[in-house]
Structure 1
C-alpha cells in the first residue's frame, strides 16, 4: 500500500505550490492511471512515493512505514521509471544495466542473475541481454528501463509519461507488457496526459488539476467527468 495524507509540496517561494493537500491510498496490485495536464503536479506527486521528494506538509507511507524512515525499503517496494530512460542508464549493455539495482542491494550473484533473467523475460527481452542499449529503439529502451525497475522486485511500478517520444507500435508494446505485469500481480501507477489505450487495464483513474485531485473514480465513471481537464481522452 502506498498512502499519502494531506501531501503538499512547494517549489521556491510559498506561492509556487505544485501539489496541494493530496490524500490517496493505492492498494497492492492496483493499476492506477494518474492523469492531468502538464504542470498539474503528477510528476511531483509520484516522486514522493519513494522519497525522491519530501513533502512540505502531510506524510507518505509505504506498507505502513513513513518513507523518510526507511528510504531503502521504499525504493525497493516502489520502482520508478522516468520519462527519459536514456538519461538514467548506467551501463552500456542491457543485462548489465538491469543488474545495477540488485547489485547495489548487495545480493549474491546467483540471485542477481535470476532477477535480471526474470525481468528481461517479463518485458520480452529475454535474449537481448548482451546488446548495447544505444542501438535499441525508443520502445525497447523503455522496456529496458522497466526491466531495471522490475529487477528490484517492487510491489508497485511507477511510470512517469513512459510514452513520450514513442511511435504507435512502441506504445502498444509497452502497454501490452504493463497489462501482463499487472495480471501477474505487480501494482502499476501510470502517469500520463494521454488516456488512449490505458483505461481498459486500469482499476482507477485519478486526475490532477492545479495540484489537487479533480477526479478519483473507476475509469468508466471518470471519463464522464473530464470536461475542462486538459487530458487526451481515449479514442
Structure 2
C-alpha cells in the first residue's frame, strides 16, 4: 500500500479530464487517471508522473473492481473528480431501457458507489493534509433538460443531486461540489453551422476552451469554505 494520496480523475485521458490532469500534475498533486480506451495521451500523462489505470464504469463489476484496486494500493485520497461520462442520445440508441440504465450507471451509480467506498480514504486524506474534495462534473442540461439527450440530462441531474447529499454526509472534513459546464470546446468534426448555432446559445458567444474548466477545478480544490454548491460555466446561457 503506497503512502501517496492521489486525486483520482475518472475519464482523464481526453478533453477536459486530460487538461485537468496535466494542470494538477503541474500544481504538484499526485494524480491517478482512469481510462477505458488506450490513447496516446496516456504515455504523456505517465511521463508527467500520473498513474493511469484502466476502469470501466459501465458495469457494476467494473466499478467494484476499480474500488478493490484503489483500496489495495492506497491508504488515503486527496480527492475524486468524477469526470467519466457517456453522451449517447435517444436518436442513436434503439433501446430506451438500455440507454437509461447506461447513463445512470456511469453518471450516478458509479460516483455514488465510489464516494461511499472511499469515505475512509478521504477522511484519512483530510487528517493528513487538512483538505479532501469530491468534485462531480455535471452539465448545464441538468438544470434545463434536453429534448435530444433525455436520459443523459436526467442522469446528470441525478449526479448534481448527489452533491447535496454527500456534502451533508462528509462535512466538515470532505468538501463536495459540482462543476456544470455547457459548451467549453468543440469537437474537430463540428461544422461551421453547428458552431454558430451553439455559440449563439449563450450571452458571451464563445467556446472558451478547457482552461475555464481547469480554473474551476483549481478553485474548488483550493477553496476552504464552499461545499454542496455548483459552479456554472455556461456563458450566461440561462439568460438567453
With a CA cutoff of 8 Å and minimum separation of 6, indicate the structure with the bigger relative contact order: 1
| TM-score normalized by the length of structure 2 | 0.34
| TM-score normalized by the length of structure 1 | 0.34
Higher helix share: 2
Higher strand share: 1
